[in-house]
């Protein structure tokens, strides 16, 4: 029997939190005298790791330890802002339950650092529902490189062609495309038109309640 897998991006997909992430980044940069355009920032960074973002905006010459400390500061700010609003996107639990009943392996493939993975998955009480969790600490390159999704597929014992990625950002959809995976897009963060050029998108929905698992598995 062919092993299938669903791989979920976390931020903006399992939880509708990208606006809070952006707010925390803008506040972080503002404290350092950097004015950053919100729309341009999201387009350039969604799916990239904190290390990549810090170096892009504050300088490639930053030492690893300095970047790590800066990320820690920014993520504390994010968790303070988002904590009162933490909840899964509508329909997530039902979709996960249906996938498990169908024998589909479940994974998280995220650019988030371990502290935010813990905050989200443990805060929601859903970590145990996943067969594996792959985060920024597990790969060298963030999205749009395919590393995070390929490692998730490998850990699930599934061929990339039999994996479906759930994403909310173009860089993530591109990462899925490079991994040879089909993709479901949630419009939690951007409108459907933002994904019109991707040939690996098989479904676009506002939330998980609009997604028919039978349609996905027969696609």
Per residue in 40-70, pLDDT (tens digit) is 888 888 778 888 899 999 999 999 999 999 9
Average pLDDT on 203-216 reads: 94
DSSP conformational letter for 189: S
**Residue 163 tokens, joined:** 């994996």
Q: What is the largest CA-CA distance in the chain?
A: 56
| pTM for the predicted model, two decimal places | 0.91
Element (H, E) at 8: strand 5-8
Query: 50 or 204: whose pLDDT is higher?
Result: 204
Locus of tokens 């800066």? 70
Q: What is the C-alpha to C-alpha distance for residues 109 and 2, in angstroms, rounded to an integer? A: 21
Q: Which two tokens stand for residue 192?
A: 């459907």
Q: Which CATH class is domain 18-84?
A: mainly alpha
Query: What angle is formed at CA 48 by the lines to CA 46 and CA 52, rounded to 5 degrees?
Result: 130
Q: Which CATH architecture has domain 5-16+86-218?
A: 3-Layer(aba) Sandwich (3.40)
pLDDT (0 to 100) of residue 20: 94
Pinpoint the residues of the chain covered by CATH 3.40.50.1000: 5-16+86-218
pLDDT, position 219:
66
Dihedral in degrees, nearest 10, Cα atoms 122, 123, 126, 128: 20
* Catalytic residue list: 9
* Per-residue pLDDT, 151: 98
Domain with CATH 1.10.150.240 in the chain: 18-84
């Amino acid at each position: 029997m062919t092993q299938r897998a669903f791989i979920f991006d976390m931020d903006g997909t399992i939880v509708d939190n990208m606006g809070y992430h952006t707010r925390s980044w803008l506040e972080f940069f503002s404290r350092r005298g950097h004015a950053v355009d919100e729309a341009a920032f999201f387009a350039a960074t969604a799916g990239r790791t904190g290390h990549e973002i810090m170096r892009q905006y504050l300088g490639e010459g930053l030492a690893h330890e300095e970047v790590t400390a800066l990320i820690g500061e920014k993520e504390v700010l994010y968790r303070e802002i988002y904590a009162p609003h933490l909840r899964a996107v509508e329909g997530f639990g039902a979709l996960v339950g249906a996938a498990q009943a169908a024998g589909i392996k479940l994974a998280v493939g995220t650019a988030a650092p371990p502290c935010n993975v813990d905050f989200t998955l443990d805060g929601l009480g859903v970590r145990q529902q996943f067969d594996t969790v792959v985060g920024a600490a597990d790969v060298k390159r963030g999205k749009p490189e395919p590393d995070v999704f390929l490692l998730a597929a490998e850990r699930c014992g599934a061929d990339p062609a039999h994996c479906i990625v759930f994403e909310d950002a173009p860089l993530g959809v591109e990462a899925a495309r490079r991994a040879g995976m089909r993709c479901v897009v949630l419009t939690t963060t951007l409108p459907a038109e933002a994904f019109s050029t991707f040939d690996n998108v098989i479904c676009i929905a506002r939330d998980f309640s609009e997604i028919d698992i039978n349609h996905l598995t027969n696609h």
